[in-house]
Structure formats: structure tokens, C-alpha cells
Amino acid sequence: MVPGLSATLDYYHITVTDAITLPTPDDLIKACFGSVSSGSASNPACTIIRRNTVTGGLEGDPLQVPGLFGILSNQGIITTDGVDLTVDYRRNLGTIFSAPAKLALNFGGNWTHSQKFQAVAGVSENRECAGLYSANCGFPGGQLNPKYTFNQRTTLSLGRVDLSLLWRYIGKMRYEFANNPANDPNNPPLFSGVVNSRPSSSVFFNAPGNLNGQTVDFNHISAKSYFDFTTRFNVNEHFDLTMSVMNLFDKKPPIVGNTAGSTSANSGNTFPATYDPLGRRFAASARIKF
């Protein structure tokens, strides 16, 4: 109906039964402490919790604190549903600066209505993780699943030159237990307040790159937008030159502390697989066709 426009809208509902999974840390702890008795010391649900033999803690060097040992099973259930939307629009703009001009707009977005994971059907908690983060969310590797994400690319072609701007959007997230103590009162929210890790008299109190003295809330991550700009020069039919700037506005990753997620995903006090930890960077490439 509109020349140059194409769009698709897809609804998906996926269920994986008999999934080979591990119980979440919360499942493992609840299996033991949910019904503590005189026989708990020898209960297999409790002996899988390997503490520091001196302090009794569950944090520290892996050589001294083995931690939680979950057992793989094929009793897991994974379900998710949502909507995918793609839109493409192309149009000739005539002549600009004595060169033929074309405009291309591309959009690909996703809305995740629900993402649930249950390690053992009928036993473990059927945990909702869409838009949430914690050490128990983000099967299988603890990565984030925002409710809203999209990529939108605008490309202006002027003769042999293409100018392209990519907008990467990640919706807001919140800590699984934040402001929801009824969900699990034994898992309090993460830190929120003024960081005071050094005395105010310290010469490092306002040191660059240090959170000391700043007000933080590790329980929420606001929506993030990243922009990448690319210029492609079609020098001739045999040679293309491309130059790019990623994270054009040098957006910093959110800081949420190193207990906000699983060890594999929550690296360096953030989630580097979801948010850009490197800042602004440049790249150049050339393509030669023979």
C-alpha cells in the first residue's frame, strides 16, 4: 500500500520441556533451609552447600569456598512469549549535492511478555525473569532479557557514499527482589545510597573513576541507548572503504555491584554482554574485489 515500505509482525510462544538445566542458587538454598531439621546436616539438599570451613561463609576464594553444587537434570521447563516487529522503508530522494540520493530506514524490535524458567517441574520456583536481573535469572548463562529492545538504522546514500546511523535501545531493568519482599523475604534488595568506602579525609575520596561519595541504586537500570555511526566510500567497483564510530556518545555501562547477577554474566560490576563496557571506539575496514 505504501511504495518502498514492508513490515512484519510476529507473535511467538515457545515452551521447552525436559530441558537439561541446573537449579538456580535460590532453589538450592531453599531446598535446604526451607525445612531445617535435626537431620539437615546429612541431608543431600544441605550437603551440596560447601562453605568456608573456617568462617562458614559462602563468599571468597573458590579454592576455600567451593560454593553450591547443583545437579544437572532433564526436568526443567523454559517458556517465553512476545512479539517481534520489523519495518523497512526505502525511498529515492532525487539529487542532493549533484549526486543521486536514497534513504533507507530499518527497524527491528522485540517485546518479551514473559520468560519463565523452572529447574525441576513441580518442585523449583517457576521464576519470571523478563525485565529482571539477579543471580537466579537469565537462564542459561545469567544474561539479561529486557522486556523492550530494538535496533533502528537510518542510511543516507549520496552517490558512492553511504552515511549510516544505528540506534541500539535496551529497555529498563530492575533487580528481581527489589521492592518486592513478598517474593522472597530472605533475599533483600541490593545496595542503594551513598558509597562511603573510604574516610572523607582520604586523598582518594574524589579520585576519578571511583564511586566513593556518589549516590547509587543497584536495584534499577534505566533504559539505555547506544548510537553507532558508519561511513562507507565506494571508491570504485573493486574497492570499498568503511569507517565506523561505535558508542558515538561514549555512554558508560550501568554499575550494579558484583552481586547483582551470576558470576559468568555480572563481570566487573556490570553486565558486559548487554551493555557496552568499552566506551567510544573507532574501526576502519577495506574490501577489495578482484
pLDDT in tens, 220-277: 999 999 999 999 999 888 899 999 999 999 999 999 988 888 888 888 889 999 999 9
Instruction: Tell me the sheet residues that pair with 6.
Output: 88
Is the domain of 225 the same as that of 151? yes
Residue 211 within a domain: no
Cell numbers given for 170: 535496551
Q: What is the distance between the alpha carbons of residues 117 and 124, in angstroms, rounded to a whole number? A: 9
Residue 117 within a domain: yes
Is the domain of 102 the same as that of 45? no
Task: Give the residue, 122 or 280, on which the prediction is more confident.
Answer: 280
Is the domain of 105 the same as that of 162? yes
Is the domain of 85 the same as that of 62? no
Q: pTM to 2 decimals?
A: 0.84
Residue 122 within a domain: yes
**156-188 residues labelled b (16+ CB within 10 A) or e (exposed):** ebbeeebebebebebbebbbbbbeeeeebeebe
Residue 130 within a domain: yes
Tally the domains of the chain.
2
Is the domain of 143 the same as that of 278? yes
Residue 251 within a domain: yes
Residue 197 within a domain: no
252: region left, alpha or beta (phi > 0 left; psi from -120 to 50 alpha): beta
Is the domain of 98 the same as that of 34? no
Is the domain of 269 the same as that of 180? yes
| Pair 142, 270: CB distance under 8 Å | no
Q: Which domain holds residue 107?
A: 5-15+81-187+219-288
Is the domain of 230 the same as that of 257? yes
Q: What is the distance between the alpha carbons of residues 108 and 188, in angstroms, rounded to a whole number? A: 36
pLDDT of residue 196: 77
Average pLDDT over residues 35-52: 79
Residue 214 within a domain: no
